[in-house]
Structure 1
Amino acid sequence: MNNQIEFEKQYEKDKPMYYAWGKFVAEYVIYKLNLSQVEYDKLIKIPVEPRVKETASLVQKAFFRKKNYVDPYNEITDKVGVRFVVMVQNQIKEIADIVEQADIWSWSKDKDFEKMREERPEVFEYESVHYIVRADEAFKYNEIRIEKGTPCEIQIRTLEQHAYAELSHDYFYKSDVGIEKKMKRLLARSSALNETTDSLFGVVYDMIENEKEEYYKLNRELMCICEFPDYDEELNRSIYNNVKNMYEKYVMGKINLKEWIEEDIIDGIKRKSDNSLFRQPMILLIYYLLSERRKELLKTWEYTTDMLEPIADDLGVAIEPF
């Protein structure tokens, strides 16, 4: 279809179909994410909505850019797009796996920043994973028929990549004005910095996640020793953070708290359940540290010392001032 008027008419007619297909693609990926153990709010940082290309923008791309299309209407595959913006690079794979494993569409990679980085390691520029997915069969979605083979572009990028892409795409890629060498240089520098920041974000994120997993692992172990049905996550985590270094130094991988905790300690905890401190699983760890590392615990303890006195009474130890 090389007639501009016919092109515009056809696209206006097909716009609802493209939007419906984009909506379906977005909802399918979100549905699969929710089925997994990934926390959606922790992964997706910008609301996901299909974006249908404006008619004027599509016409410009089809007829006024040097793309050398033979059949522009069918060759342009980004009439509708869905963008997933994540926090760090290793989260990109979570969505990429869903796209590639779906049995309702065929897919191809339009852009793969990891491949581009391998082929041109000296170049710092637009980075993002782009897929084109096409409906395997015609079907109806929200009463709108989606034809077989209808394309949708999926972009997966980090927040850092998104910031760079928005600037470079809106002000440079679409611009008809020649870009000064100084601006190109500054843009390249910003891309290099973004890549470094992305990498550092990834390291910090992994450290945070590993630390969280250690907390949850310990908490599960403590709740197997004694039930704490009404514990306060915020308070419990705060106690853990206070003594985390001591736990890692003296307990983790060294002491089996289940074997160390005796029944009379558990009975004492249950009797004091009106005290919020004794409703937290981490109270078991505090019993051990107060018994075996009392001097260091008292120096580390950020709360009032009198909170430890009922524990000291159960253990038969004194809380000396240090």
Structure 2
Amino acid sequence: MNREQEFLERWRRESPAYSAWGRFVVEKLSEAISAIASPVELEVILKIPVKARLKAEDSLLQKAFHRGKGYQDPYDEIEDKVGVRYVVLLGSEVKKIDDAILSVNDWIAEKARDYVQEQMLRPYEFDYQSLHYIVRSRNLINFDSTEIPADTPCEIQVRTLLQHAYSELTHDTIYKPNVQATPSLKRSAAKSMALIEATGDYFAKVHEEIQAALANSEQMSLYLDRQYRSWTGLEVSHGPIQSLIVDHYARLVGADFEASIDEWWSSKQFVRERIVARSKDQVIYRVSGILLVYYCVSRFPNAAKEDSPLADDELALIYSDLGRSLN
């Protein structure tokens, strides 16, 4: 049996453990990111579905024996036999995943590449950017009925969507030793990376200004979510209609809104019955913004119907509940 056959025999025996380790990493890291990013949903942050991927056999063999890597023990020195990639929109979200990786106690994390540090060391260069970690199982783990030995490695890559696009376009061409990229091609790639880095900075600035503009509405939404759960005993549904309701009706209320709606609710307990009954088959009664609609119809009946995001037949029911007529 030659060295390639020996390598493959071992890989075929151990690949189920690597596959289980990759799935374990995805599960634990996703939980950690969710905890750090809360109340933002994980699906909002991640722009590409996350899946652990095993390296193909031929790819492993080529890396181990035919790419001039100079491995003394190629099987153990190749650390990306299984890998996971996280793609986000903003650089600030890369930092959240960085923090999440370091927060998990089930593995030992070693940073293999950090594009922020590379920018500081080579500020005049514009090159491939990605955050790479190698995480190794701290102890023997049993996951999905599979034993994962201690010290099993998995590579985690974290990129912004722009960095990912650049990598997909160029990495297999410019950064492989068997390809002789021309000076013109390298220059074009560097200009693209410079533009991507600048665009990333602009994205961060736009995001910052959007968050500042939405701060009051988001704070009101969080308050309404809490009160909806407390007052109705129901779980909150999220979606675009919540933002439409809160953004529209927030302009009618004052700085004392929370105290005012608390006082209003204490005398309008019958509203709870209407919300609970209709929540079974009408989605607007499952978003917490419905409390704000009832409050505004009660306090500002004329203004509440002007350009409302709710249809007239939906508003008419709420006006009727409060002993008023929409017209």
**TM-score normalised to the size of structure 2?**
0.73
Is 1:219 matched with 2:219? no
Aligned match of 2:124 = 122
Q: 1:56 to 1:284 in 2, by over 3 A?
A: same
Identity of aligned residues (%): 30
Cα distance between partner residues in 1 of 2:181 and 2:192: 16
Cα distance between partner residues in 2 of 1:7 and 1:225: 60
Q: CA deviation at 1:35?
A: 5.5
SS in 1 for 2:291: coil
| Gap runs ≥5 in structure 2 | none
Q: Could you report, residue by residue, the CA deviation over 1:293-320 in whole angstroms, capped at 9, with x for unpaired residues?
A: x6xx898767899969x97xx9x9xx9x
Give 1:86's match in structure 2, choosing from 81, 85, 88: 88
Q: CA deviation at 1:108?
A: 0.5
Q: Could you report, residue by residue, the CA deviation over 1:225-245 in whole angstroms, capped at 9, with x for unpaired residues?
A: 98797999755542332355x
Q: Could you report, residue by residue, the CA deviation over 1:92-143 in whole angstroms, capped at 9, with x for unpaired residues?
A: 2333223212222211000112211222222222222111111122333334
Cα distance between partner residues in 2 of 1:82 and 1:240: 38
Is 1:165 matched with 2:167? yes
Matches within 5 A, 1:49-60: 49-60=51-62
Tell me if structure 2 keeps the 8 A contact 1:135–1:149: yes
Q: Could you report, residue by residue, the CA deviation over 1:156-210 in whole angstroms, capped at 9, with x for unpaired residues?
A: 1222221112222233323622111222122122222222333333344442563
Query: 1:10 is matched by which residue type in structure 2?
Result: R
SS in 2 for 1:134: strand
Cα distance between partner residues in 1 of 2:12 and 2:137: 20
Cα distance between partner residues in 1 of 2:237 and 2:152: 50
Tell me if structure 2 keeps the 8 A contact 1:82–1:152: yes
**TM-score normalised to the size of structure 1?**
0.74
Cα distance between partner residues in 2 of 1:139 and 1:230: 35
Matches within 5 A, 1:138-287: 138-174=140-176, 176-206=178-208, 207-208=210-211, 210=215, 213-217=218-222, 219=224, 235=241, 237-244=243-250, 246=251, 251-252=254-255, 257-258=260-261, 266=268, 280-282=290-292, 283-285=294-296
Aligned match of 1:70 = 72
Q: 1:172 to 1:9 in 2, by over 3 A?
A: farther
| Gap runs ≥5 in structure 1 | none
Cα distance between partner residues in 1 of 2:255 and 2:155: 47
Cα distance between partner residues in 2 of 1:235 and 1:140: 44
Tell me if structure 1 keeps the 8 A contact 2:173–2:181: no
Superposition CA RMSD, Å: 4.3
Tell me if structure 1 keeps the 8 A contact 2:248–2:309: yes
Q: 1:23 to 1:284 in 2, by over 3 A?
A: same
Q: CA deviation at 1:216?
A: 0.8
Query: 1:153 is matched by which residue type in structure 2?
Result: E
Q: CA deviation at 1:4?
A: 3.9
Is 1:29 matched with 2:35? no
Tell me if structure 1 keeps the 8 A contact 2:28–2:104: no
Cα distance between partner residues in 2 of 1:215 and 1:133: 40
Query: 2:254 is matched by which residue type in structure 1?
Result: V
Cα distance between partner residues in 1 of 2:94 and 2:170: 21
Moved more, 2-11 or 156-165: 2-11
Aligned residues: 310
Q: CA deviation at 1:40?
A: 1.8
Q: Which has the larger radius of gyration?
A: 1
Tell me if structure 2 keeps the 8 A contact 1:127–1:157: yes
Tell me if structure 1 keeps the 8 A contact 2:244–2:309: no
SS in 1 for 2:139: coil
Q: CA deviation at 1:221?
A: 8.4
